[in-house]
Amino acid sequence: MDDLKEKYLGLIANAADEAAIEDLRVQAVGKKGEISLKMRELGKMTPEERQVAGPALNALKDEINSALSAKKAALADAALDARLRDEWLDVTLPSRTRAQGTIHPISQVTEEITAIFADMGFSVAEGPQIESDWYNFDALNIPGHHPARAEMDTFYTHRKEGDNRPPHVLRTHTSPVQIRSMEATGAPTRIICPGRVYRSDYDQTHTPMFHQIEGLAIDRDISMANLKWVLEEFAAAFFEVDKIEVRFRASHFPFTEPSAEIDFRCSWVDGQLKLGEGDDWLEGGGSGMVHPKVLQNAGIDPAEWQGFAFGLGIDRLAMLKYGIPDLRAFFDSDLRWLRHYGFNPLVQPTLHGGLSR
Ligand code: DAH
């Protein structure tokens, strides 16, 4: 018995892991373990022998069992210590100071414009980029023979041979969203619609895909004065100056009457653009009072409702505000350009926090 005790206590002390402990348990006190077999021999002993051997064997079994559990607990503790040592993390280390990706200037400027108009009670509407002839042209009072159709360098889709319906187009402006939105909500309404538009054109200031933002406000007594105020508020907030004067230049769009081109007062000093002061004017986009036929086409009674609309070029606003010279670079996906002109993805443009920090 002393030999057994010495043997197992030695083996247990040297066991490397929990699996080894389990093996030893089976070997010693399992059903067919060495000590269990010895216990079976008790039956063959004389009562005197049994009185000595019985308690001794039981004591040995207890001792081995407690050595097994003690070693098991010690191994678990050691494993936990090792893990705590390996998985230690210094949470006081500074994190990366700048995220890897950046927000594209177009996304940034779209967010900035949205924040400004949201503050004036406009909500955001969207429409499809593949648009029907009706929404892109006719509903906006641009009939088939109208020169505006030719001017827009439209991309047409194909119809199957023999299908004589007019083809769908890649929308040439965001104005069709005016119609869709008025159809959906009726009057009164106040929306902006930012999005992609397409025209077959390519040079330093034109790409076949670009971005516009449409504005529309319909109510009972809205006038050009409201339009002008909204545009001045917008421009001052967007260019982050106290005040910007807006000038209306008489123009023509089929979907507005009267129509006006929007100019912002500015100056160019040494190639540097300054908004809100000076004797120059910067072209901003088109606008006007929504044509009664357009209201009618969208199911709104022009005898009861009126409103203004405007369309601005997002890409151009981004180029002007952030001094980006070539429009084509916006869509080249050049990582160096994106890192240089991109914005911190962890900062959301807001009016109270600042648009372009
Ligand atoms: N849709 C015009 C364009 O793409 C821009 C425009 C002009 C939109 C006048 C308007 C507007 O809503 O009233 O050239």
CA dist 145 → 114, 132, 149, 150, 164 (Å): 35, 17, 8, 9, 17
**Does pLDDT of 150 surpass 80?**
no
- What does 254-307 look like in DSSP terms, one character per residue? TTEEEEEEEEEEEEEETTEEEESSSSEEEEEEEEEEEPHHHHHHTT--TTT-EE
Assess contact for 39 and 60: CB atoms under 8 A: no
195 touches ligand 1 (CB under 6 Å): no
Q: What is the pLDDT of residue 306?
A: 97
Residue 81 amino acid letter: D
pLDDT band at 66 (very low <50, low <70, confident <90, very high): very high
Distance 79 CA to ligand 1 centre (A): 71
**How does pLDDT run across 215-240, given as a tens digit for each residue?**
999 999 999 999 999 999 999 999 99
Q: What is the pLDDT of residue 98?
A: 65
What's the gap between Cα 174 and its chain centre?
22
pLDDT band at 152 (very low <50, low <70, confident <90, very high): confident
Closest residue (by CA) to atom 12 of ligand 1? 310
Distance 269 CA to ligand 1 centre (A): 30
Say how far apart CA 172 and CA 210 lie, in whole Å. 10
Ligand 1 atom closest to residue 178's alpha carbon, by position in its atom list: 12
**How does pLDDT run across 13-57, given as a tens digit for each residue?**
999 998 999 999 999 999 999 999 988 888 898 999 889 889 999
198 touches ligand 1 (CB under 6 Å): no
**How does pLDDT run across 290-335, given as a tens digit for each residue?**
999 999 999 999 999 999 999 999 999 999 999 888 889 999 999 9
pLDDT band at 58 (very low <50, low <70, confident <90, very high): very high
Pocket test for ligand 1, best of 122, 142, 173 (most atoms within 8 A of CB): 173
Supply the DSSP symbol for 310. Answer: E
Q: What is the pLDDT of residue 357?
A: 67
Contacts of 137 (CB under 8 A, 6+ apart): 143, 144, 146, 148, 149, 169
Record the pTM: 0.73
136 touches ligand 1 (CB under 6 Å): no
**Does pLDDT of 99 surpass 90?**
no
Mean of the pLDDT values across residues 151-173? 91
Neighbours of 265 (CB within 10 A): 19
User: Percent of the chain having pLDDT more than 70?
Assistant: 99
Q: What is the pLDDT of residue 62?
A: 94
**How does pLDDT run across 255-294, given as a tens digit for each residue?**
999 999 999 999 988 888 888 889 999 899 999 999 999 9
Overall fold of domain 105-341: BirA Bifunctional Protein; domain 2 (3.30.930)
Supply the DSSP symbol for 122. Answer: -
Q: What is the pLDDT of residue 149?
A: 80
**How does pLDDT run across 236-254, given as a tens digit for each residue?**
999 999 999 999 999 999 9
DSSP H helical ranges for the chain: 2-14, 18-29, 34-41, 47-86, 105-119, 133-136, 147-151, 176-185, 224-238, 292-297, 314-322, 335-341
207 touches ligand 1 (CB under 6 Å): no
Residue of 341, 342, 343, 338 lying closest to 354 (CA atoms): 343
Going from N- to C-terminal start, the domains of the chain cover 2-86, 105-341
Say how far apart CA 22 and CA 300 lie, in whole Å. 84
Contacts of 55 (CB under 8 A, 6+ apart): none
Q: What is the pLDDT of residue 64?
A: 94
Ligand 1 atom closest to residue 173's alpha carbon, by position in its atom list: 4
Assess contact for 211 and 106: CB atoms under 8 A: yes
Ligand 1 atom closest to residue 255's alpha carbon, by position in its atom list: 13
